[in-house]
Amino acid sequence: MELKLKLSAQDEAFRREVRAFVEENLPADIRRRVETGKRLRREDFVTWQKILHARGWIAPHWPAAYGGSGMSPMRRFILNEELAAAPTPRIVPFGLAMVAPVIMAFGSDEQKARYLPRILASDDWWCQGYSEPGSGSDLASLKTRAVRDGDHYVVNGQKTWTTYAQYADMMFCLVRTRTDGKPQEGISFLLIDMKSPGITVRPITTIDGGREINDVFLDDVRVPVANLVGKENEGWTYAKFLLGHERTTTAEVGRSRRWLRAVEDMARSERDGGQPLIDDPEFRSKLVAVDLDLAALEALVLRVLGEQGQGQAPGAEASILKTRGTEIQQALTQLMFEAVGPYALPHIPEALDDGWNEEPVGPEHAAAAAPLYFNWRKASIYGGSTEIQKNIIAKLVLGL
């Protein structure tokens, strides 16, 4: 059923090379946790990223001057999609795909020399300090304040929905350095050491039982002025630049294709007293619709990669990729929920913890169906809500 991109002989050979590399180098315990939907540990992500770094494949989008691979847009697409389609941990984007491009474009030489090699080697784990209570989609209303005190800023405020803050060594953070004028004109972009005195991380338990997001409280945190990226009060420009990169990475065609195959496998299992769900015409039509949507999304990803390869920054395409990518991901988790049927109802969060050895309810894949569905409801919010993205598209494409 799956629609596939036709590749040149050279690119097809590269695809086989990536698949062989994953097969030979992905640790078996990490593979098992990904395949069974278990929660991953910090060391799982870091171990895999260091394996990719040793191969030279951790940052295919980085310029060669900073340690990137110098891959063509098509090779980058193949690598990213093959890694996502295989049972590998997701590449944590906050350092490699989000703050690193900002540092490259706007950071000082000292910041580039200090942070980029450690990001590349996965020696530092980064988190994103953007959203606040009351300042999510309306990010310009943020209130976390940074006041200059000699060669430091003193930062006070709260960030929320901060993914993996409990693991983070560093946070890139939007702070208010001026209160007069337009809200967007008083924001600065700081790099904050998470071990600084005055930082408290409090987990937020999500509806699926996970604890990947957090509140972060900053009380009189002293941050060196040297950690200011670019110019004071111009952080909004850098924030928009970063969000463009974040939104282009949320399409994740490869991951969605892996989920599509998983849904098909689940639907082929015979149900109690009935035929496999895959034989139901209505369910099959839903699968075909998602497959077609994925093919269209893949074409747009390739177009954006091609434009980025020519030095063009993503425009409205970034919002389209973010919107359609997350809508497809949510549709697939819904189909997975349907394919599992009543076995998804006894949601047991502990079943996703490695080492949980109670008798599963239904097939092994059933335990992850409900948590995956619940967790991915947030996909249409982070990186800018779907409603905000549609407004951006209307403005940039339709001129409304």
Task: List, for residues 340-388, the tens digit of each pLDDT value.
Answer: 887 776 677 777 777 776 665 667 667 788 888 888 888 888 777 888 8
Domain boundaries along the sequence of the chain: 9-91, 126-233, 250-398
In three-state form (DSSP H/G/I as H, E/B as E, the rest C), the secondary structure along 187-219 is: EEEEEEECCCCCEEEEEECCCCCCCCEEEEEEE
CA separation for the pair 356, 181 (Å, rounded): 55
CA separation for the pair 143, 343 (Å, rounded): 45
Place of tokens 């177009």: 303
Numbers of helices and strands, H then E, in the chain: 13, 8
Instruction: Kindly report the backbone phi and psi dihedral angles of residue 229, in degrees, each rounded to the nearest multiple of 5, phi listed first.
Output: -90, 130
pLDDT at 84: 86
Report field, pTM of the whole predicted structure over 0.75: yes
pLDDT at 249: 67
Closest Cα partner for 122 from 86, 91, 101? Answer: 91
Q: What is the DSSP letter of 227?
A: G
DSSP strand pairing (126-129 vs 170-176) = parallel
Closest Cα partner for 385 from 143, 138, 98, 134? Answer: 138
pLDDT at 143: 96
pLDDT at 161: 92
Burial 350-361 (b: 16+ CB within 10 A, else e): ebbeeeeeeebe
On whether the CB atoms of residues 312 and 244 are closer than 8 A, the answer is no
Side chain identity, residue 394: A
CA separation for the pair 282, 161 (Å, rounded): 37
pLDDT at 376: 84
Instruction: Kindly report the backbone phi and psi dihedral angles of residue 296, in degrees, each rounded to the nearest multiple of 5, phi listed first.
Output: -65, -40
Q: At what angle do helices 316-340 and 235-249 cross, to 10 degrees?
A: 40
pLDDT at 272: 58
On whether the CB atoms of residues 165 and 216 are closer than 8 A, the answer is yes
pLDDT at 2: 53
Low-confidence residues of the chain, pLDDT below 50? Answer: none
Give the DSSP H/E element, type plus range, for residue 172. Answer: strand 170-176
CATH class of domain segment(s) 126-233: mainly beta
Give the fold, CATH level 3, of 250-398: Butyryl-CoA Dehydrogenase, subunit A; domain 3 (1.20.140)
Catalytic site positions:
246
pLDDT at 246: 60
Give SS3 for 192. Answer: strand
What tokens appear for 111 in the block?
A: 């910041």
**How many of the other CB atoms lie within 10 Å of CB of 13?**
10
